Amino acid sequence: MTGVVPKTPLPGSWNHSSDDRFIDYYERQSLSSEKIARFTLVRDKAIALLGAGHGCTEQLDVVDIGCGSGTQCRLWARQGHRVRGLDVSAPLIELARQRAKAEQLDVQFDVGSATELPYAGESADVCLLPELLEHVADWQSCLNEAIRILRPGGLLYLSTTNWLCPIQEEFQLPLYSWYPGLLKRRFERLAMSTRPELANHAKYPAVNWFTFYSLAAYLKRRGFRCLDRFDLVDTSTIGALQRFAIGALRAIPPLRFAGHVFTPWTVVFALKEQ
């Protein structure tokens, strides 16, 4: 596939092994109907946004950073898009390759670090960062790399933690999003040492907590226009009462803020300026 540059050695601090229980958990989760429905919606919304900007959407260059077992990659590849997927976990990448091969899909999968992507600048029309930034201590480098490889007019999608909402799946602890930083650091250390079950045996548990507002401000400074989950609701397919509620959320900032408090995960669709 086009847009690949010679790979550099991965940072020595990264351990690419994974606990078998984490692989089993992710293998099951990645095939859930909820996960597939969510990724399908992301794909369709992304294509609609790019199409609204009068760009060609028939065959896009798509990069899925933190692709896991490749579920999102396959959804794009089935429509004929050129897809690359990267993840730090070698076992998950091997699983992704097996699943793509079984469907006879041409997807390039690489083991690597999100903070040092092995891809050329401005080589992607769509860059996907699903549930990744929370796991990378140097999240700024991760996001900057995604920005680097995205073409002007391209779309960046990311989903990550939402510290405004008390509901989360990263740690098996109630209201964890609202824990103070010092307490979070304690449970992170436990999850990486004696209590791995607290974070589903993840090698790198969540260490960063975001809001839509903080990420949108970061991306705006780098030339992006950002939309949240409420901006993307198709009001033509819902009832009158729901249309009124969405309209109020969009028009009244305190209501939009409340909407973010009651929705797990931060979701951002960001369009890179031409």
Residues 6+ apart with CB under 8 A from 272: 147, 150, 151, 152, 153, 154, 155, 156, 223, 224
Determine, yes or no, domain membership for 255: no
Determine, yes or no, domain membership for 164: no
Number of structural domains in the chain: 1
Predicted confidence band of residue 204 (pLDDT cuts 50, 70, 90):
confident
Determine, yes or no, domain membership for 178: no
pLDDT tens figures, 105-128:
999 999 999 999 999 999 999 999
Q: How many percent of the chain have pLDDT more than 90?
A: 78
**Residue 246 in this model has a pLDDT that exceeds 50:** yes
**Residue 13 in this model has a pLDDT that exceeds 50:** no
pTM over 0.85: yes
Determine, yes or no, domain membership for 171: no
Three-state DSSP at 139 gives helix
Determine, yes or no, domain membership for 40: yes
**Residue 139 in this model has a pLDDT that exceeds 50:** yes
User: How far apart are alpha carbons 197 and 124 in whole angstroms?
Assistant: 36
- The neighbour count for residue 70, using CB atoms within 10 Å, is 26
Determine, yes or no, domain membership for 114: yes
Domain containing residue 210: 20-159+201-234+266-272
Kindly report the CATH number assigned to the domain that includes residue 217.
3.40.50.150
pLDDT of residue 23: 58
Determine, yes or no, domain membership for 91: yes
Determine, yes or no, domain membership for 245: no
